[in-house]
Amino acid sequence: MLVNTKDMLINAQKGKYGVAAFNVYSLETVQAAIRVAEQEDTPVIIALGERYFPTVDVEGFAAMVRAMAEKASVPVSLHLDHAYEKESIIRAIRCGFSSVMFDGSTHPLEENIRLTKEITEIAHMAGVSVEAEIGSLAKGAFSDEEEGTGTLTDPESAKAFVEQTGVDFLAAAIGTVHGMYQGEPKIDIELLGRIQQVVDIPLVLHGGSGTPEEKVREAIQSGITKINVNTEVSMAAVSHLQTYFENKDMMHLSTVMEDMQRAMEPVMAKFVRLFAGK
Ligand SMILES: [Zn+2]
Per-residue model confidence as pLDDT tens digits over 79-134 = 999 999 999 999 999 999 999 999 998 899 999 999 999 999 999 999 999 999 98
Distance 82 CA to ligand 1 centre (A): 6
Partner residues linked to 77 by β-bridges = 45
- pLDDT bucket at 197, cuts 50 / 70 / 90: very high
Beta-strand pair 44-49/19-23 = parallel
d(CA 250, CA 237): 18
pLDDT of residue 138 exceeding 90: no
pLDDT of residue 278 exceeding 90: no
Distance 169 CA to ligand 1 centre (A): 14
Distance 173 CA to ligand 1 centre (A): 10
Which one of the listed residues 7, 41, 57, 81 is annotated catalytic?
A: 81
% of the chain beyond a pLDDT of 70: 100
- pLDDT bucket at 140, cuts 50 / 70 / 90: confident
Which residue blocks in 222-252 are alpha helix, DSSP H? 231-247
Q: What does pTM read for this prediction?
A: 0.96
Mean local confidence (pLDDT), 218-224? 96
Mean local confidence (pLDDT), 135-157? 84
Contacts of 99 (CB under 8 A, 6+ apart): 4, 5, 6, 45, 77, 78, 79, 80, 128, 129, 130, 131, 168
- Tell me what pLDDT residue 231 has: 93
What b/e sequence results for 71-106 when a residue is b if at least 16 CB atoms lie within 10 Å of its CB, and e otherwise?
ebebbbbbbbbbbbeeebbbbbbebbbbbbbbbbbe
Per-residue model confidence as pLDDT tens digits over 151-191 = 899 999 999 999 999 999 999 999 888 999 888 888 899 99
pLDDT of residue 8 exceeding 70: yes
Distance 47 CA to ligand 1 centre (A): 10
Beta carbons of 109 and 161 less than 8 angstroms apart: yes
Q: How many CA atoms lie within 13 A of 103 on its CB side?
A: 22
Please name which of 34, 72, 35, 36 lies closest in space to residue 278, comparing C-alpha atoms: 36
Distance 206 CA to ligand 1 centre (A): 5
Higher pLDDT, 250 or 24: 24
pLDDT of residue 247 exceeding 80: no
Q: Using DSSP, state whether 188 is helix, strand or coil.
A: coil
- pLDDT bucket at 37, cuts 50 / 70 / 90: very high
Is there a catalytic annotation at residue 154? no
Output the average pLDDT for the chain. Answer: 94
- Tell me what pLDDT residue 248 has: 67
